Chains A and B, each alone.
Chain A
Amino acid sequence: MSASRLARTLDRVLVTTAAVSLFALMAFTFADVVLRYLFARPVRGGLEVVELLMVAMIFSGLPLVSRRDEHVTVDTVESHFPGAVKAALRRVMHAVAAAGLAGAAWLMVRKAATLAEFGDKTQLLGVPIAPFVYFMAALLAVTALVHLAKTFLPGEPGGAGARVV
């Protein structure tokens, strides 16, 4: 499989994971409220399910944001730089971001190892936490790889902050 095909497949898998987790998060929150009020029967360990879904959604979303260059950036000053400087600068920024994310992934691997060693589980449902933290680490590493790839093939930075405010 070529690298670009692999990237497309991975993208699809991550979009699906993120979308399904978010929809489940919404449906679950609604169902929890309905069950609690109409049937006086809250879902046991509801908070834990929400947290695990959040982890799945946020961290599978990260490589997607980086791949689409949707991180919030400030272009006030940079837009006045000459083209060649801008292009070089973008490569440097991607390299730094890749290093930072790789560091974060490593921190999460360490954290996961500690959690696995003590066998930490969620309080009510008893779901082991370590695999989820390894998942965080893996996706941070994938995001680092996206930035590493962009160090060599930079795209146009976006401004996804627009969608928030």
Chain B
Amino acid sequence: MTAALLGLAAMLVLAFLRMPVAFAMAIPGFVGLGLIRGWPAAMSSTASVIYDAGFQYTLSVIPLFILMGNFVARAGMAHELFRAAYAFIGHLRGGLAMSTIVACAGFGAICGSSIATAATMAKVAYPSMRKFRYSDRLATGSIAAGGTLGILIPPSVIMVIYGIMTETNIGALFAAGVFPGIVATVLLCLAVVYVTWRDAGAGPPGERSSWRERFHALRGIWPVILLFAFVMGGIYGGVFTAAEGAGCGAFGAFVFALARRTLTWQVFVEVLAESARTTAMLFLILIGAFIFASFVNFTSLPDDLKRFVAQFELHPMWVIIAICAIYVLLGTAMEELSMILLTVPVFFPLVVHLGFDPLWFGIIIVVVVEIGLISPPVGMNIFVLRTLLPHVPTGTIFAGVMPFMIADVIRLAILVAFPAISLWLPKLLF
């Protein structure tokens, strides 16, 4: 127990001194292993971790989904999604903000990154909302919050990482995200309704579209539907593995970007190089996380945590509530990817020991990450909007995301209380 706590403390101190997270985990993990099991054992196990990170076929799912997201972001399909959503609900009060959220959900179905979703949608939806005199609060809040749907609605890079760390089936995790994604979309739209009910001037209605225009707009989103159906249908139909699905999805997104002439040679090379760098960065962190996890598993910490919980005869649900509270708090101050990588090796064994479903816990993790992404002061989606919309004061964005954060916390409570929302679909498919 002491060894693990010292290791954890060393890791946190290094991370907070701004040591890259990968090294902050790898170094205490390696030293800890060396002290407990002896240096030759520590060296050989670390060498295997590094070697296996490269030579492992299933991990190719990571770069391929990242690549797919980056191609999709450049292909410009977000315009059609927004136009289609607008044609149906744009004439309602707050309709453009709701259209933004629905379009984000649609974009999330072909893109596994919430940052990419928020950044893409900011360029598409913000100018329209501005034109209809939406308040900057509602405009930026709906984009930041809608963007987080990118990681809940499959595909999702963070689910892939969770799946790899915990050896949970990635296809099943994706399926588990579908209904929570719909619940999330509805709740975020209700948050818009609430905001415009309090202040009608925040989100004036747009123009009503005729049914003819609606069907026309709907026709524009066929590439999105096709790509989603192709990738997810292939994975669930047993046609290909998650990694192959990611490869085919990336290829499909590449073809669409080519066909829509959004891909210059320069952009093409940049997409590849950026995706490769993101992958390398991520693999270094995975290596660090695995080294640290192999150290923690050799200490008594996992058992001690279980005993600690047993000793207080806590209801397992209290443990989940405590974990959620810790995550929401940590998420306000920490970058979310590091938060998950640093904590999942400690929490996951406990949660599974208490009898909870790893798929369901994965969804809970994604939702707390979503909340973290829009919670001030360190929310990544807020940063994205600040960079893209420099004239909007940060305080305005902070105020704008508040109603959506509350909607997200309500959603977290709903998903914790009713695991069936997450688990019904994967149980049906697998």
Contact = CB atoms under 8 A, between A and B. Distances in A.
Asked if A pairs with B, the answer is: yes
A164 B66 contact: yes
B53 interface: yes
B240 A54 contact: no
Given A47-B57, A72-B21, A72-B22, A29 B244 contact: yes
Given A164-B157, A165-B337, A26 B247 contact: yes
B367 to A, nearest CB: 13
A97 B17 CA distance: 13
Contacts of B282: 164
Contacts of A33: 239-240, 244, 247-248
Contact of B67 (A26, A59, A89): A26
Contacts of A37: 239
A114 to B, nearest CB: 9
> What bracket does the count of chain B residues touching chain A fall in?
35 or more
A138 interface: no
Contacts of A28: 247
B273 interface: yes
B414 interface: no
Contacts, number: 217
Given A19-B269, A58-B280, A104-B50, A165 B336 contact: yes
A107 interface: yes
A22 B380 contact: no
A74 interface: yes
Q: Is the interface of B mostly helix, strand, loop or mixed?
A: helix
A47 B374 CA distance: 39
B276 A157 contact: no
Contact of B64 (A26, A71, A90): A26
B380 to A, nearest CB: 5
Contacts of A75: 18
B338 A54 contact: no
B45 to A, nearest CB: 10
Interface of A: 15, 18-19, 21-23, 25-30, 32-33, 37, 47, 50-51, 54-55, 57-62, 64-65, 68, 70-78, 89-90, 93, 96-97, 100, 104, 107-108, 110-111, 129, 132-133, 136, 140, 157, 159-165
The 6 closest A-B pairs by CB, nearest first: A29-B247, A61-B280, A71-B20, A18-B276, A19-B272, A55-B54
12 contacts: A18-B272, A23-B272, A29-B247, A51-B55, A54-B56, A54-B63, A64-B276, A77-B16, A100-B26, A159-B335, A162-B384, A165-B380
